[in-house]
Amino acid sequence: MLLLTEADVQEIFPMAMALERIEASFVEQHKGAVNRSRERLFRPGVSLHYMAASLPGEKLIGMKIYTVSRSAFRFLVLLYDDETGALLALVEADHLGRIRTGAASGVASRYMARRDASRVGMIGTGRQARTQLEAVAQVRKLESARVYSRDRTRREAFAEEMAPRLGFSVQPAESAEEAVRFGDIVITATNSANPVLDGDWLRSGTHVNAIGANMLNRREIDDRALARSAVIAVDTLEQAQEEAGDLVLGLGAIPGGWSSVVELHDIVAGTKPGRRSDDDITTFKSSGIALWDVASAGYIYRRALELGKGRSVSLWGE
């Protein structure tokens, strides 16, 4: 078994490869790869979360398990050979989780945003925000971004950090409305329990990646944003129905309800449209699924073997 640390993952899993692996996972999902939705166990002061998936095309099976407490988030991915049951790798997965979530929004933007989209409006500057903007920058030729968070110091620091890293203008916005009205692509990456995006702020043709709320009592986008969306896509309908508060709480605003919500893998495979016109508003509601973790860990494991990274650990005498 190969033990891979956060440092190993950061070194050998760049965003370009994350985009490739996550898009490939959508292709496998369309072919029938198995994904099991997240389960949660809550205790006073700590919660345990776990999810699993199988990639038959790559002979991989695995799970992500993590705890959340006031002091820390602790993420692990366990990767197995799906023929022998051998444990191939134990991967520290904080960075993995952030980069694969960003990559999923990048894939959604590739297939759902207008081809000429060049400006991003972002709400949120926390754990997930940097990889969100980085991923979108790799699938569209961006000219500028505006970012808002409630903390002026944080949004200014985010803009100062990301502009030279990405090579285009990133400016702090004075309000969420300013950021949203600015963007051809809008990203919400917050832990808010109440909507931070008013659908009336969206311009025609905007694509929204809503990635922050994955519990039934949280939502980032309001009913108006859902009602105006010509296409609403999710990672899986099963998991969205269990934890996408944006959609569950706003279901009455979605024309057609759940029957009109599509899974992103169908758009990637070309069986469903990502948009029908440049005037459409489109939305990807991301919850984050185990299939992305297994696909990412599979690449990280194989690349680590090639580069001699990680530490070999024997278990069960193997």
HSE-up of residue 211 (Cα within 13 Å, Cβ side) = 33
Residue-wise pLDDT tens digits, 119-132: 999 999 998 999 99
Q: Does residue 302 have a pLDDT over 80?
A: yes
Q: Are 221 and 208 in contact (CB under 8 A)?
A: yes
Please report the pLDDT score of residue 199 as a whole number.
Answer: 98
Predicted confidence band of residue 315 (pLDDT cuts 50, 70, 90): confident
Residue-wise pLDDT tens digits, 162-179: 999 999 999 999 999 999
Please report the pLDDT score of residue 12 as a whole number.
Answer: 97
Residue 91's H or E segment, with its range, is strand 87-92
Q: Please give the DSSP secondary-structure letter assigned to residue 150.
A: S
DSSP for 199-249, written as a single string: GGGPPTT-EEEE-S--STT--SB-HHHHHHEEEEEES-HHHHHHH-HHHHH
Q: Does residue 314 have a pLDDT over 90?
A: no
Q: Are 295 and 25 in contact (CB under 8 A)?
A: yes
Q: Does residue 10 have a pLDDT over 90?
A: yes
Q: Does residue 16 have a pLDDT over 90?
A: yes
Domain ranges of the chain: 2-97+291-312, 114-289
Classified by CATH at the fold level, domain 114-289 comes out as Rossmann fold (3.40.50)
**Helix spans in the chain (H):** 6-12, 15-31, 94-112, 129-139, 152-166, 176-182, 223-228, 237-243, 245-249, 264-269, 290-307
Q: Does residue 213 have a pLDDT over 90?
A: no
Q: Are 89 and 297 in contact (CB under 8 A)?
A: yes
Residues 6+ apart with CB under 8 A from 152: 172
Residue-wise pLDDT tens digits, 132-165: 999 999 999 999 999 999 999 999 999 999 999 9
Predicted confidence band of residue 65 (pLDDT cuts 50, 70, 90): very high
Query: What integer is the mean pLDDT of 220-233?
Result: 98
**How far is residue 68's CA from residue 3's CA, in Å, rounded to a whole number?**
22
Please report the pLDDT score of residue 198 as a whole number.
Answer: 98
Predicted confidence band of residue 316 (pLDDT cuts 50, 70, 90): confident
Residue 286's H or E segment, with its range, is none
**CATH (residue range 2-97+291-312):** 3.30.1780.10
Q: What percent of the chain has pLDDT over 90?
A: 96
**How far is residue 228's CA from residue 218's CA, in Å, rounded to a whole number?**
20
- Classified as helix, coil or strand, 177 is helix
Q: Does residue 214 have a pLDDT over 90?
A: no
Residue-wise pLDDT tens digits, 46-63: 999 999 999 999 999 999
Predicted confidence band of residue 99 (pLDDT cuts 50, 70, 90): very high
Beta bridge partners of 232: 283
> Of the candidates 276, 245, 242, 247, which has an alpha carbon nearest to the alpha carbon of residue 259?
247
Residue-wise pLDDT tens digits, 236-256: 999 999 999 999 999 999 999
